[in-house]
Amino acid sequence: MSVGLALVPVLLMLALLQLMDSFKLVRLPAVLVALAAGAAAALLLLPVHDWALDASGLEVESFSRYVAPVTEEAMKGLFVVFLLWRRRIGFLVDAAVLGFGVGTGFALVENIDYLRRLTDAPLALWLVRGLGTAVLHGTTTAMFAMVSKTLMDRWTDRHALALVPGLALAVAVHSGFNHLPLPPVALTLVIMLVLPAAIIVVFQRSESATKEWVGAGLDLDVELLEVVRSEIFAATRFGTYLQELRQRFNGLVVADMFCLLRLELELSVQAKAMLLAREAGLVVPPSPDLAISLDEIRYLQSSIGRTGLLALKPLRVSSDRDRWHRYLLAEAAKAGLRR
């Protein structure tokens, strides 16, 4: 009973979030990696906290209010930062799932450590740990991931600064709940009623926004791809801009730019179509030529160079989203091979 109360509720919450993801943006292997990352963060931090508590001379209550929220949220956030940096998070929906997954892994290790140390503790403690503290860990990391993703999309040239508000919010919520003058069971009820509800509301709105973006984005990408493939492309704004680039770059480089635009549009269409199929409960495998296309994109980017890619940026809807599209398709291809 103690083990169940300490470990199961937060896992059920994580499973609920993943089930709510109609596009299945986050596959089970990615969730397991997030859980492992959170567990590793807790394993690294537990001995550090034991040492810091003794060295600082602080009371446990003061340490939990002012020190632990900062160190724990920062440690949990490291893997989220890695995912954002590698463009492994495309929408707030997968930010919520992966962030909650990291927090869940952290909470599981922390509660297992408590189970090991406090073998005779009453069930009320495990109720508080499992329904309260564990859910708090998952929710605050999900908040950090969602806020950071939102700001990184807006502040494209200030990614480091975009991480600060989300981390500050996670720390403030964590520390704030540790400050509440409520009995442990009452505090657990507050956490269970407030934090998951807030995450679910934001999640549902993000899901709706994602549906609108995928549907409208697919239509736009298909139209752009038809223009790129048409004979009138040279007369369009895109074609005129590429012609102007011939004054600054070698003709072969400009030709590579055109090929890169076409390939990115093709993969974007393929990724969005796959997401719409998933929402309908269908499985659409990626193109058998996907590996060749991904290799060609890497070659073209290397051939064009950093300066050329910067010059091409006005014609690319979102290079960050393009990287996420390629990651999504590559993961789907790996899943197909495993089957």
Task: Report the C-alpha gap between 243 and 234 in whole angstroms.
Answer: 8
The token pair that represents 301 in the structure block:
């980017």
pLDDT for res 199: 87
Rg (CA), the chain: 23
What average pLDDT does the chain have? 86
CA 128 to chain centre: 28
pLDDT for res 172: 96
Q: Which of 177, 106, 170 lies closest to 140, judged by CA?
A: 170
Let me know: does 309 contact 256? Beta carbons within 8 Å.
no
Q: What percent of the chain has pLDDT over 70?
A: 97
Q: Which of 90, 31, 87 lies closest to 210, judged by CA?
A: 90
pLDDT for res 120: 75
**Below-50 pLDDT ranges, the chain:** 337-339
Q: What is the pTM of this model?
A: 0.82
- The residue type found at 45 is L
- The residue type found at 319 is S
Q: Which of 73, 74, 69, 72 lies closest to 179, judged by CA?
A: 69
**DSSP assignment letter at 118:** -
Q: Which regions of 135-243 does DSSP assign to beta strands (E)?
A: none
pLDDT per residue over 170-209, tens digit each? 999 999 988 887 787 788 888 888 888 888 888 888 888 7
The token pair that represents 65 in the structure block:
């209010």
What sign does the CA torsion over 143, 35, 320, 215 have? negative
What single string gives the DSSP state of each residue in 218-244?
HHHHHHHHHHHHSTTGGGSHHHHHHHH
Q: What percent of the chain has pLDDT over 90?
A: 35
pLDDT per residue over 253-293, tens digit each? 999 999 998 988 888 888 888 888 888 887 777 778 888 88
pLDDT for res 339: 47
